[in-house]
Amino acid sequence: MSGQPGSARNRRRRLPGGKFELYSWLFMRVSGVVLLGIAVFHLFWMHMVIGVENIDFSVVAGRWENPLWRLYDLLLLAFALTHGMSGLRLAIDDYVHRPGWRVAAKSVAFLAYVLFLGMGAYIIVAFQTPPDLASLP
């Protein structure tokens, strides 16, 4: 009788919050492993190898002359912001209990997600290397 509504098999499969929470849980783990590589390497490279005191316009512009760095930064942006905002959603669920405030908080978080993803993706893709890059201060 498996597959019938109310059978043991179906009861086990009915998940709280539907499939979304399962996929969200899985995404946090997959993106976590990805970020363990690309976010930690980004911090190691920019802060430990290059050094924040040496970073300026020409360093970033020079980096983005290579389209592979743009792709790297785009992936880092998408994974890190989605992972972080997904974590913020879980924190809102934990601390904001009134339904109205919860909807408001999640709406603000979602708008911020779209806005910052758009800003970041726009500048990574659309930034044009100035022709006088070598002579810049």
Task: Using CB under 8 A, list all residues that contact another protein.
Answer: 29, 32-33, 35-36, 39-40, 43, 47-48, 51-53, 55-58, 60-61, 77, 80-81, 84-85, 87-88, 91, 95, 97, 112, 116, 119-120, 122-124, 126-127, 130, 136-137
Q: How many Å apart are CA 61 and CA 11, to the nearest integer?
A: 56
User: Could you tell me the smallest distance in angstroms from the CB atom of residue 9 to another protein?
Assistant: 22
User: Could you tell me the smallest distance in angstroms from the CB atom of residue 4 to another protein?
Assistant: 30
Reported as half-sphere exposure (CB side, CA atoms, 13 A), residue 128 has a value of 3
Q: How many Å apart are CA 121 and CA 84, to the nearest integer?
A: 16
Please say which residue, 10 or 36, places its beta carbon nearer to another protein: 36
CA angle, 100 then 109 then 28, to 5°: 115
